[in-house]
Structure 1
């Protein structure tokens, strides 16, 4: 009996070592990406992949929108989707550094070196895709899917004039997702069903194998 306890203790210790080694590896991998080029088209995909793997990450996915008339149909693209127990996250990146003037208007401004750069409200850009997601889930009879509108500014020197739900910097993305994952709104079977539905109805503009 004593030998059994010793073996069990060794197994537990080895498991803990493996777990913390993996956590440390993920942390180093994420730091490496954050310190590297943030201009990579798939920067956020690669960043999230270091912590959460790639299974529930769907980059460059498009859904068909428009009316019943086939001539009026069109594809709407999302830069990146991430699915976990907390819900489905529609993620859009915005490059550049400076102070971001966050408003409820159609146009935002990024102020850098005393110059003002206007750009379209990124949350509103995501909303078009989110409406298609909700329509798809109604069609597939998948109720009560929490969907989050997420905008990530990828510059390493970014400040906001005010906070807004879902507005993040690249450095805050992984901690935010870890917190949201603590919510258990979706079971694993529900996540798998959502993932299957997205893959069946979505159009992927680039091959997954094209990413490191």
Structure 2
């Protein structure tokens, strides 16, 4: 999906050959990570219905604050249940890619509100277990905490959000899997054929930008 998103925009998708190369490389390395390392522990299935854009503004409630409906199912698809193990991105109400103070500030603020959210979730889970309507093995709070602490939150978010992909990949994911290094070091991780394909893609995008049209 991310490679298609990079390929398809008509104008202003890239500003230079270096930017294009960096974006292409990030997508190749992310694909390498997801192919060689399990994105989720249950990525072989079963897959569940997952609403990628679910947030408080989509929930309908009555005057007693009881939920009685959910709207806006546009970005819904079958996904690994591991996607639900990440804490919800909407805890700060604003998407991190739209946060004016930047990613570091969003992360710092998110870390402050996450414990409050998880405490409420734990209390609700325990109440459901006590009433016999939920099994202890179905708790999500522990998975959410581990997702944040391990960095899997960023891996899942990058997989789901094309507009935030480049920022998150280079800030949160690349160093976790490949360690220190610069762009030249990362290019060496590609096969010779992969490097040739990258240069061909860069030239194709530059030509398309100059001509103002979509690549074939």
Same topology, TM > 0.5: no
Q: Which structure is richer in relative contact order (CA contacts within 8 A, separation 6 or more)? A: 2
More helix by percentage: 2
What is the TM-score when the length of structure 1 is the normalising length?
0.29
What is the TM-score when the length of structure 2 is the normalising length?
0.29
More strand by percentage: 1
